[in-house]
Amino acid sequence: MDSVPLEESTTAPSQKPEQPQISDHCTTDRPLPPSSSKPVGDLDPIGGIPCYVSKPSSYPSEPSRLLLLLTGGTGLLSTNNQLQADAWAQQGYVVVMPDQFSGDPAPSAANTATSLSATTEGTVGSEAGAQPEQHTPSIIERVKLGLAEGTKSFMLDMWLARHTPATVEPILQKVLAGCKEQYADAVANGGGIFGVGYCFGAKYILRLCGELQSGSGAGEEEKGEIQHGPALKAGAVAHGTLVTKEDIEAVSQPVWLSCCRDDPVFPDAIVMAGRESFKRKGVKHGLQYYDSPHGFAVVGDYEDESIKKDQKDAFRAMSDFLQQQQ
């Protein structure tokens, strides 16, 4: 899909009534494309936080800008995420991708896949040309299925409870402060720090582009959200997760949204509330809907050529938007 002009009206897809907290795409990496190379960045602590840092080959002899990249639940050590950081470095950024989960990435949906498939084979073999016999799970099998699904849901709920703005944002504030010291040249060259976020990370890029962030001090501040100035010059996000109306309406810096059509994890009501707020406050923004599934914009291989095209298009649109924010 082609990117829409910044202020062009976009017809929203139909809204779905329920909003799940997180998608399997946020917690499980796709297989890597066959042509993938190995990550070229380094693991380097910034502000005391482990980070994956990827730099343009011309840096520091040629000026670069600083980009904070926040990932989905697969986190710092995901090869997919490291390759995503490398791709942004090729656009001329010093890319800093922090461990926003303190060594505790999301429990992978793949961890329960084996137990789920073991209880539901689906069909029983039959002679060529004959209709396969449908297998009906037994009571024991149904119990196993329920336990596996319940365990997966419980693990994700517990993980989400450990990683909230109150725990994530102090980590990001340390990283941002460290970047301003360690990569002062890149920050100065860009006139600030830029941000890109996918899935879980999208929420925090939006919050860092706004006025509302969690308190990081002691006492009453720490219990709630307090007003800060925006920490980023501009941001671009793809298929956000856990984004609230308050998050997106607090945005005051230029932002680009790459969204999935009919995405229950980043529902249209939230996206449109943000868009109306952007227009009302005069915030530069762009919005593009794609027919691909949640998580499509992260490096990964798909058999469907249309998803591959959308992945490339979303990256180009996000990159073009940030390049315009000089």
- What tokens were used for 156? 């994700």
Q: Render pLDDT for 178-189 as a digit per residue (tens, 0 to 9).
A: 999 999 999 999
CB 71 within 8 A of CB 23: no
Task: Supply φ then ψ for residue 153, to 5 degrees.
Answer: -65, -45
Q: End-to-end distance of the chain based on CA atoms, in angstroms?
A: 25
Residue 151 or 139, more confident: 151
Q: Give the pLDDT confidence score for residue 154 in this predicted structure.
A: 81
Residue keyed to tokens 């944002």: 169
Q: Render pLDDT for 63-94 as a digit per residue (tens, 0 to 9).
A: 999 999 999 999 999 999 999 999 999 999 99
Q: In terms of pTM, does the model score above 0.85?
A: no
Q: Render pLDDT for 101-133 as a digit per residue (tens, 0 to 9).
A: 999 999 874 443 333 333 333 332 333 333 334
Classify residue 124 by burial, with Cβ atoms within 10 Å: 0-12, 13-18, 19+: exposed
Rounded distance between C-alpha atoms, residue 67 and residue 234, angstroms: 10
Q: Render pLDDT for 292-311 as a digit per residue (tens, 0 to 9).
A: 999 999 999 999 999 999 99
Q: Render pLDDT for 35-50 as a digit per residue (tens, 0 to 9).
A: 889 999 999 999 999 9
The domains located in the chain, with CATH, are: 24-104+163-324 (3.40.50.1820)
Q: Give the pLDDT confidence score for residue 292 in this predicted structure.
A: 97
Q: Give the pLDDT confidence score for residue 193 in this predicted structure.
A: 98
Q: Give the pLDDT confidence score for residue 221 in this predicted structure.
A: 43
Question: Percentage of residues in the chain with pLDDT exceeding 90?
Answer: 69
Q: Give the pLDDT confidence score for residue 279 in this predicted structure.
A: 97
Rounded distance between C-alpha atoms, residue 262 and residue 11, angstroms: 12
- DSSP for 124-163, please give it: E---TTSPPEEPPPPHHHHHHHHHHHHHHHHHHHHHHHHS
Q: Give the pLDDT confidence score for residue 326 in this predicted structure.
A: 75
- DSSP for 248-295, please give it: HHTB-S-EEEEEETT-SSS-HHHHHHHHHHHHHHT--EEEEEESSPTT
Give the C-alpha distances (Å, rounded to integers) separating 148 from 159, 186, 203.
Answer: 16, 47, 28
Classify residue 43 by burial, with Cβ atoms within 10 Å: 0-12, 13-18, 19+: middle
Give the C-alpha distances (Å, rounded to integers) separating 325 from 46, 176, 276, 299, 303.
Answer: 25, 19, 21, 24, 34
Please state the rounded mean pLDDT for residues 172-199.
98
Residue 116 or 137, more confident: 137
